[in-house]
Structure 1
Amino acid sequence: MSILVLCPHYEPDTAPTGEVMTSICEQWTARGHRVEIITSLPWYRDHAVAEGWKGRLVRTQQEPWGRIRRWHPFPSNKRRLMARAAGFAGFTALAGIDAAIAAGRCDVVFAMSPPITLGAAGRAAAWRGRAPLVFNVQDVFPDAAVETGVLRSPRVAAAASRLERWVYRRAAAVTVLSEGMAENVRAKLGSDVDPDKVVVIPNTADAGRIKPADRLNSYRADLGLKDADSTVVMYAGNLGHSQPLEMVVAAAQRFADQGRTDVQFVVNGDGVARATVAAAAERLDNLHLVGWQPPERLGEVLAAADLHLVLLRAGLGTTSVPSKVYSVLAAGRPVLASVDRRSEVERLLADAGAGRTVDPDDPDAFCAALAEMVADPDGLAEMGRRGRSFAAQAEGPQEIADRYLDLFGKLVE
């Protein structure tokens, strides 16, 4: 089978969706399928085209299994919404023209969102190549942008919603990460569209690659956290609008006010909220801000924490599933999640027995649960063991890739 992929990021770009797409494509090519990938030049880490990739509008990488075409993403500061929108539009236009040219030699078109505009580009390519479009939704847009206040213009939000519904209705299939996201998408399709076109295929982690490891590692040593009796509570991921990082700051402040030096908080990542966390870390000795870490250090970062945090603002439980949950469970570490009730994250932790969930944007409930969990190190260790067992038995990259291939096969029959 020949698969045409449109995605915003791909290895060596460090975006989580790039890691997801790379893992899936590697499985497809390992099974002998031809894959043509149209994506962006690496830019995610610093919101600028990475060193070694500058100087060209497009770069082509020929592979035995196909090729990768990387277009300039026209990156800009995250805070400049209109500039980002213009950048996405420019990248989508170039990627879309390229995809339309390549569509004649593909059996199926696979487009990933966000950005939602890649759905439109994928639809055009699928129409030209007379191939089915599979639209992969990693985050439901514009819902998340509206809920977090990033997108405030009613007109722009309405236009984005119209584009969203247009792509959903014209795709042969829409894949989402959870039943909550599926309900969200189905509600927008209308009663005249078969709800079965929305298919749940979750992300996953490679439990063979991510394994439990010693908590007292060089990552902790670099932070000066060598004391085996210290409990490290970590948030690792995007420091964005969707994550209420003020709750981590509030928790660190409460523990500091109580004179608790045995609990140390680590925020590992980058994004628009970095300055807020950095200001708090300047005045709180128990709060440590660490920048982006290279992918090869992922296992070490995950192992360094005794408890991981997953944070999503209220209303986002049906728009996204943080992929790091799977990695944390594979690493054998427990989770405290502040997310919507009945969300996929809550279900995962309940099924795995690997953590607790509290209502989102509730610092009192969050701090109370946190205090109870860190007071029971044996309980944390047991949750971690259960999480690892769950991850080891769950579908891995191979099974997830096969689920997509099964869907493609049904669509091209």
Structure 2
Amino acid sequence: MNQYYWPDHASTAQHLTDLAESLVDRGYEVHVLCARGRYEPGVEPPPAEETRHGVRIHRVRATSLGRGSVFKRMADYLSFYVGAARKAISMPKFDVVVTLTTPPIIGLIGTLLRRFRGACQVYWSMDLHPDASLALGQMSKRNPVVSLLAWLSDLVYRQSDRVVVLGPYMADRIRKKGVRDSRIVEIPVWSREDEIFPIPRHENPMRESLGLSDKFVVMYSGNLGLAHSATEFIDAARRLRDREEIVFLFIGGGPRLREVKEAKEAEGLENIRLLDYVPREQLHESLTMADAHLVSMRPEMTGIVVPGKLYGAMASERPVLFVGPDHSETADTIRYAGCGITVRLGEVDMLVEAIESLADHPETAASMGENGRSAFLSEFEREGCCEQWAALMGELVGDLRPASVPDGPAVVSVIR
């Protein structure tokens, strides 16, 4: 279960699509319960029922007001809760139910199916809520409604047969909720080598079409949300505005992107360029436009979110500049792989120095990019990560070869 699934471009939609289709390839019968409303409002909704690449997709009606305000987001969440609960009750029993974290506490439906239908529940913790809102100061635990939501969220974690986390810092937070180590499984999110692969700068058609052939492109790709920081990127663009060969390219959306747009317009920062999301099938061209990728995360979000854009940057064979805490899944991965440079929030001088160093020493940038690609292929590629998921499913249904189960293939329901 998850709110988003193909054809949405949300990160959770893309990863869930990969997982569902990989499980079908391994012999599982897979159903996905998601919303007809789209991550991007105003887009024609897909059909309520269809089968794609062997995955049976069930979409329920939900509003699609967008992420422009808390009210709109809550309305989208609540409408999906109602539709998903009704649909889940009417569906047959599944062997395993996988619930993601969009919207928050959607896993509660999985908990009820576990209790009353006897299904195994796997909680795929893409991020933690309401932990994120509490960490950002958007909510207070003194509010009885927030306190209840936090209690329900922790209950879902404790009641799940397995909790899949994205890294060790997230695992530490889950343990503090009372989840036993034996139920915590670390599986990172991923990118796909057949989707994102290196393209030489001079052969990239997007660079040429955008007039970037002779530029050093520093790119931020994806959602620039409240868990991230844009301040350092804007300040770096200000300080480097006289180096005409360095361009800051932002592709995607998110609430922090407004800060970038406002600074660009108010100060005439012509070295900042903005583009909308690109289709998934063009990611290999989009991400390889970069000479260096930007990633950021606020320190208070450590263990609450893990920026998945890191793995796309590594797959593109480009170096990564991370602005965030020294100790986090992202910073540790960059140091371990030797694929980039990490700086703390507020250290704009170091960020500018890092950008200029990579621009002036292309051989160093190329070496970091190669390191990142190698680490991606060995640890963060779809096939290996989905194989870990398949092993987990096999463990839960009691057979590592699901297609050979005497009574037929195991049935997995993914609720988004």
TM-score (norm 1): 0.90
The Cα of 1:349 is off from its aligned counterpart by: 1.0
Match for 1:34: what amino acid?
Answer: E
The Cα of 1:316 is off from its aligned counterpart by: 1.3
User: Runs of 5+ in structure 1 lacking a partner?
Assistant: 1-5
Greater RCO (Cα-Cα under 8 Å, separation 6 or more)? 2
* Selected match of 2:244 from 254, 261, 273: 261
Kindly tell me: are residues 99 and 142 of structure 1, through their superposed partners in 2, closer, same or farther at Cα, counting changes over 3 Å? Answer: same
> Hey, what's the Cα distance between the residues in 2 that align with 1:364 and 1:63?
49
2:263 aligns with 280
Kindly tell me: are residues 296 and 409 of structure 1, through their superposed partners in 2, closer, same or farther at Cα, counting changes over 3 Å? Answer: closer
* Selected match of 2:107 from 116, 119, 124: 119
SS at structure 1 position matched to 2:133: helix
SS at structure 2 position matched to 1:44: coil
Asked whether 1:375 is paired with 2:364, we answer no
Asked whether 1:252 is paired with 2:245, we answer no
Match for 2:6: what amino acid?
Answer: E
Asked whether 1:226 is paired with 2:226, we answer no
Count of residue correspondences: 394
1:3 aligns with none
1:313 aligns with 298
SS at structure 1 position matched to 2:100: strand
2:134 aligns with 146
Kindly tell me: are residues 242 and 361 of structure 1, through their superposed partners in 2, closer, same or farther at Cα, counting changes over 3 Å? Answer: farther
The Cα of 1:61 is off from its aligned counterpart by: 1.0
Asked whether 1:325 is paired with 2:304, we answer no
1:9 aligns with 4
> Hey, what's the Cα distance between the residues in 2 that align with 1:112 and 1:264?
37
SS at structure 1 position matched to 2:220: strand
What do residues 356-379 of structure 1 show as CA deviations (whole Å, max 9, x unaligned)? 111134333333333333332210
SS at structure 1 position matched to 2:122: strand
User: Runs of 5+ in structure 2 lacking a partner?
Assistant: 399-416
Does the 8 Å CA contact 1:10/1:42 hold for their aligned counterparts?
no
> Hey, what's the Cα distance between the residues in 2 that align with 1:63 and 1:210?
22
2:187 aligns with 201
> Hey, what's the Cα distance between the residues in 1 that align with 2:30 and 2:114?
15
What do residues 184-241 of structure 1 show as CA deviations (whole Å, max 9, x unaligned)? 111111xxx52221111111111233210022423223332232xx211011110221
* Selected match of 2:172 from 173, 177, 183: 183
2:348 aligns with 363
The Cα of 1:132 is off from its aligned counterpart by: 1.1
Percent of pairs identical after alignment?
Answer: 30
Kindly tell me: are residues 87 and 301 of structure 1, through their superposed partners in 2, closer, same or farther at Cα, counting changes over 3 Å? Answer: same
Does the 8 Å CA contact 1:314/1:361 hold for their aligned counterparts?
no
1:100 aligns with 89
What do residues 319-375 of structure 1 show as CA deviations (whole Å, max 9, x unaligned)? 111112111111111101012222111121112111011113433333333333333
What do residues 263-319 of structure 1 show as CA deviations (whole Å, max 9, x unaligned)? 111111112233322222331111111112111211111111100000111211211
Does the 8 Å CA contact 1:33/1:65 hold for their aligned counterparts?
no
TM-score (norm 2): 0.89
